[in-house]
Amino acid sequence: MSDTPRTVTRFAPSPTGRLHVGNIRTALHNFLKARQQGGTFLLRIDDTDAERSKEEYVEAIRSDLAWLGMGPDGEERQSQRLETYEAGFAKLKTSGRVYPAYETAQELDLKRKILLGRGKPPIYDRAALALTDEQRAEKEAAGIAPHWRFKLDHDTPISWEDGVRGPQSFDPAQLSDPVIRRADGSWLYMLPSALDDIAMGVTDVIRGEDHVSNTAMQIQMFEAMGAAQPAFAHTALLVGKEGKLSKRLGSLGCDAFREADIEPMAINALLARLGTSRPVEPIADMNTLVEGFDLATFSRAPAKFDDEELTRLNAALVHAMDYAEAAQRLPEGMDEAAWHAVRPNLSKVSEAQDWWRIVTGPIELPQFSVEDQSFLALAADTLSWDSEDPWHELTGALKEQTERKGKALFLPLRLALTGQGSGPDMRELLPVIGEEKARSRLQRAAGG
């Protein structure tokens, strides 16, 4: 039996807003990693910020993950794990790895500005460690409650092998001791996240490169708690196609995608391969993405998100979509033959409604020349439903009788039958329109 622990990944959003495209990408990477290894994918709601966290966003996160096909194997909420954080905090306090600090936000900001003005990195100077017990007592007697910092071990370099970025090394003396607890007793991100990863047996953490310095500090937290650290991988951040971070990307999420009628697998197919050496393809099966997931293919260069690429993928998936998959989203009365007729002309399933209106009518007709009216009158008389292919039977007969060909033959017929100059293959669409309606439209176009 293998001693290798079962793979456990987690997605840990804060319920302070809707998931955006960057969150979705992080969730997807962790989901794919867990599924590929036959492991566990957990959803952890990081709701320690009681003031900003909202239940409506918790529900939205669950709903969005389900819609994307990334249902978690379990869920935890940080607001229900406060005892775990208190116990971890007490242990670190006993071992001297956390300490109280009393500077106000304004004082800390001034310190940072002074250091920057001197051309130095804005690293916290650990002034709070120099306070005597009497000085601390005086501050607390004056009503100044401390915030708490984790004391980094400056004598132990921090290093790890990152799944995307390769060997990473940090000098802890070049990092500020992170604030882990506010003066009001509430928790910041760093310590609860590390304690949860320990308690939940998380083996792999895949997140954005903006967390690299957090990882360095959290590695020392794992060590201070006597726990093994997960394997970390930090992916390049998403940028817009213009090559810059885009505010729009920060607001582009599942609600916007649903409103635009984008298929969830189009989103997954794009985000799974974006920023990797693998081609972005219209993959309709999540298992294919699972099988092809490989951190070794990820680039450190920024990953460019392009709306046009998403639209292309979406159209390709719709063009290959079976009627059974689309049926519940199609207009009433639209059958499989109609779906197959219009499908190649759709970029979204919702566009089927427009073509169904054309099939069911009424349609608006353009003005036809006298010559075309005569031609369409002949077409109405010639139309026959004797074969399985009335369109080619009609156009073949008209070609013989009128010697029209090409655009002169086909365009007036398409315009008379659909009101559109282009669209689905008429060989498939004409039987969907039906003989009676088709003849009526030809007669009307002919001025009858």
Q: Which residues are annotated as a binding site for ATP?
A: 247
Both structure tokens of 113: 């500005």
Using CA atoms, how far residue 81 sits from 89, 180, 195, in Å, is 13, 16, 10
**DSSP assignment of 408-439, as one string?**
HHHHHHHHHHHS-SS-S-HHHHHHHH-HHHHH
What whole-number distance in Å separates Cα of residue 322 and Cα of residue 81? 45
Q: Which residues of 174-201 are buried (b: 16+ CB within 10 A; e: fewer)?
A: ebbbbbbbebeeebbbbbbbbbbbbebe
Both structure tokens of 86: 């208190």
Secondary structure class of 208 (helix, strand, coil): strand
CB atoms within 10 A of CB 362: 11
Output the CA torsion sign for 202, 208, 214, 219.
positive
Q: From 276, 98, 120, select the one nearest 191 (Cα to Cα).
A: 98
Peptide bond into 13 cis (omega under 30): no
Q: Which residues are annotated as a binding site?
A: 247
C-beta separation of 370 from 447 below 8 A: no
Q: From 79, 98, 219, 80, select the one nearest 159 (Cα to Cα).
A: 219
What whole-number distance in Å separates Cα of residue 105 and Cα of residue 87? 27
Using CA atoms, how far residue 234 sits from 113, 185, 217, 382, in Å, is 30, 30, 15, 68
Q: Which residues pair with residue 147 across a beta bridge?
A: 101
The 8-class DSSP code of residue 20 comes to: B
What whole-number distance in Å separates Cα of residue 83 and Cα of residue 105? 28
